[in-house]
């Protein structure tokens, strides 16, 4: 089994690390790979790192054929996720939707059966509408995404489910919470960068800032763990899975976690104006029942454990 990982960043590099630890040699495809940052997560001698662009479908086909790929993990997304999509909706729609379309169509045309795609639990939170009370004959029956990023992720899931229904592509959509974890390179979403910067400042003895709203998070190693479980699952069932910490982290929780990991640190609660749209005040916790029953997923890191692991990594690097 040779697995192609598209997007060698915060989550993709951790998926590669897990596969290497399981004795495999995955192929990492990225349009602008950052070998130094990737090499801090996974031994580059134990992966194949190749250049390719998810918006150029023939580069995906070439990778599949040259490396005898049997499954694909697609983690590439627009820069800064929600925030980036609000700033440049066209680029986000092009990369998230057409990029995923190219991956799914490559799988269909080459016979790759299993495709695991990064979705997002923004679909559990950034929603409006639904005034039709579920009556499908009413124009407002269905909840609709309220940001460009969540709209693209709804499209990604819908496309994947239809490729599974009509084209024999064994699709899984992973609804990650806001991801944070070890990564020294460029990229990542607004929330992940906020956590990384807060930990950097705390470790340097500077005042750290945490967002003013409650958030659902997932540590990058747990996101990778859920993804690998989806690669291995014999039956994907309903095909869409919430992959989070199964808890809501309040600003006070986050501040206390930083002070627990870095005793004596100074933390203030404020959401930077530039990232406000990507750091909402969430009010619910995504249901883990399907991920637990179908994949055997349960989070291994709560917020404190994730911060402690991140702090250890940052000190070492």
DSSP 180-191: E----SS--BHH
pLDDT tens digit string along 173-224? 999 999 999 999 998 888 899 999 999 999 999 999 999 999 999 999 999 9
* CATH superfamily for domain 3-316: NAD(P)-binding Rossmann-like Domain (3.40.50.720)
Q: Using the 8-state DSSP alphabet, how is residue 249 labeled?
A: B
Band of pLDDT at residue 276, cut at 50, 70 and 90 = confident
Band of pLDDT at residue 271, cut at 50, 70 and 90 = confident
Q: Of the ranges 111-115, 179-183, 189-193, 269-273, which one carries the lowest mean pLDDT score?
A: 269-273
pTM: 0.96
Report the distance separating Cα 3 and Cα 68, nearest Å: 9
Residue 274, C-beta contacts closer than 8 angstroms, at least 6 positions apart: 83
pLDDT at 240: 98
Average pLDDT estimate for 70-83: 94
Using an 8 Å Cβ cutoff, are 227 and 15 in contact? yes
Using an 8 Å Cβ cutoff, are 89 and 60 in contact? no
Distances in whole angstroms, Cα of residue 2 to Cα of each of 20, 50, 116, 280: 11, 14, 14, 38
Q: What is the mean pLDDT of the chain?
A: 95
Band of pLDDT at residue 161, cut at 50, 70 and 90 = very high
Average pLDDT estimate for 280-293: 94
**Helices marked H in the chain:** 12-21, 35-39, 57-66, 81-87, 89-93, 99-110, 148-167, 190-203, 220-232, 251-261, 289-290, 303-316
pLDDT at 4: 98
Is pLDDT at 129 greater than 90 in this prediction?
no
Is pLDDT at 267 greater than 90 in this prediction?
yes
Is pLDDT at 159 greater than 90 in this prediction?
yes
| pLDDT more than 70, % of the chain | 100
Is pLDDT at 272 greater than 80 in this prediction?
no
Band of pLDDT at residue 280, cut at 50, 70 and 90 = confident
Using an 8 Å Cβ cutoff, are 259 and 265 in contact? yes
Report the distance separating Cα 301 and Cα 225, nearest Å: 11
Polymer length of the chain: 317
Is pLDDT at 104 greater than 80 in this prediction?
yes
Using an 8 Å Cβ cutoff, are 317 and 253 in contact? no
Average pLDDT estimate for 5-26: 98
């Amino acid at each position: 089994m040779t697995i192609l990982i598209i997007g060698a960043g915060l989550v993709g590099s951790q998926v590669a690390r897990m596969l290497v630890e399981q004795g495999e040699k995955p192929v990492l495809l990225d349009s602008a790979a950052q070998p130094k940052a990737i090499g801090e997560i996974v031994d580059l001698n134990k992966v194949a790192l190749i250049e390719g662009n998810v918006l150029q479908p023939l580069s995906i086909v070439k990778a599949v054929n040259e490396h005898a790929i049997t499954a694909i993990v697609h983690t590439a997304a627009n820069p800064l996720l929600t925030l980036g999509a609000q700033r440049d909706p066209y680029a986000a729609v092009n990369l998230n939707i057409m990029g995923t379309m190219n991956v799914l169509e490559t799988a269909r045309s080459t016979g790759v059966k299993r495709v695991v795609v990064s979705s997002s639990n923004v679909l559990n939170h950034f929603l409006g509408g639904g005034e039709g009370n579920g009556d499908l004959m009413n124009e407002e029956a269905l909840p609709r995404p309220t940001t460009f990023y969540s709209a693209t992720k709804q499209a990604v899931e819908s496309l994947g489910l239809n490729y599974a229904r009509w084209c024999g592509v064994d699709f899984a959509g992973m609804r990650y919470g806001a991801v944070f974890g070890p990564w020294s390179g460029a990229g990542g979403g607004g929330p992940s960068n906020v956590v990384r910067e807060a930990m950097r400042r705390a470790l340097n003895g500077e005042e750290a800032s945490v967002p003013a709203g409650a958030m659902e998070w997932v540590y990058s190693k747990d996101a990778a763990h859920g993804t690998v479980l989806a690669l291995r699952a014999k039956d994907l069932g309903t095909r869409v899975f919430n992959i989070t910490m199964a808890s809501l982290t309040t600003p006070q929780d986050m501040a206390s976690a930083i002070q627990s990991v870095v005793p004596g640190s100074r933390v203030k609660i404020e959401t930077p104006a530039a990232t406000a749209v990507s750091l909402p005040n969430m009010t619910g916790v995504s249901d883990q029942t399907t991920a637990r029953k179908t994949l055997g997923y349960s989070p291994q890191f709560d917020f404190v454990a994730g911060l402690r692991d991140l702090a250890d990594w940052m000190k070492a690097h």
